[in-house]
Amino acid sequence: MPTRAVAPQTLAAFGAANSSRIADSNEDDHDLETKEIIILHEMTFLRDILSNTFKYCHSTIHFLNLKSYSMETNIVKAKGCHFVMVHGATFGGWCWYQVADLLLKAGHTVSSIDMASGGIDPTNADTISSLQEYNQPLTDFFTALPSEGKVILVGHSAGGFNLSFTMERFPDKIAAAVFVTAFMPLSGTTLSELMNEIVSIIGGFGDSTFYYANGKENPATSFKFGTQFAREFLSQNSPSWDLTLWESLEKKSPIWQEPLLYTAKNYGSVRRIFVVSKEDKVIVEAFQRKMIAGNPPQMVYEIEGSDHTVFFSKPLQLAEVLMKIANTSVSK
């Protein structure tokens, strides 16, 4: 089975990492040149489609069918839920395109939100000094949501801060919050603290760039992942075309210094699910387990063979997990 749900108290020991090999085909130089040109045109076309989709849909994105799946899947039509997708640092709502497509095909609604400075949002990341500012597009989205019905809120990586912030403010509008290899911070935690903990585990962020809009004597105000770091640590199991797309769309992400604050009454009333990425080399499995143990969710799912960018490396398996969550949600 590609995914499995386990109760937090019965989590299995870490699995051995799997590796994949891509065999080189025997082609002459002319064929290789032709293929390179075709790939370049395809990537340009894909980027244009995504850009136009953003311009016309912005906060609520019903993605185009950009990829066909010939394999048999366990995804079937179901009574529609509304999924609200939150990206992590340096991404935009576009990163969910494959998962969103699968959910839409199954009859669900998908809204992929650009955080402030993310995706096509024009905000300068270096001007964002608080989580409240960074989260404003998601706050506006939830404020506009009708009171009847609830959504399933899904966040990746640093997007866990956005989930927690929103759970505290709109608990009555969220049926479940899904942390996909995401920070699941305790109240009082800052983003910098968790980033520093990551550094202590993996040794640093390689060729990533940190920006200091307030001077080097003050904390960094934003950052971007480096190409080598992304390919070796963030997306080592993902298709190269998705990494190329990400590299062309990546933006600086803000680093705010204020702590996240929430209460048991609001945050604690929302059902939480954590999705473990078994081969994440940044928020490594041991750190994911530590967060789960320190702030236990109601359910934990595991995805084998997935790297940090689960929506690239294992979109089908992630969609299947979200389907299972939808089927057990109290409110649709």
Rounded CA-CA distance 310/104 in Å is 18
Q: Round to whole Å and give the CA distance between 128 and 123.
A: 8
Q: How far apart are the C-alpha atoms of 74 and 320, rounded to whole Å?
A: 7
The residues with which 72 forms a beta bridge, in sequence order, are none
Q: Phi and psi dihedrals of 20, rounded to 5?
A: -120, 150
| Three-state secondary structure call for residue 240 | helix
Nearest to 277 by CA among 58, 3, 1: 3
Active site residues: 157, 280, 308
Q: In Å, how far are 91, 219, 274 from 158, measured between CA atoms?
A: 10, 18, 14
CB 141 within 8 A of CB 165: no
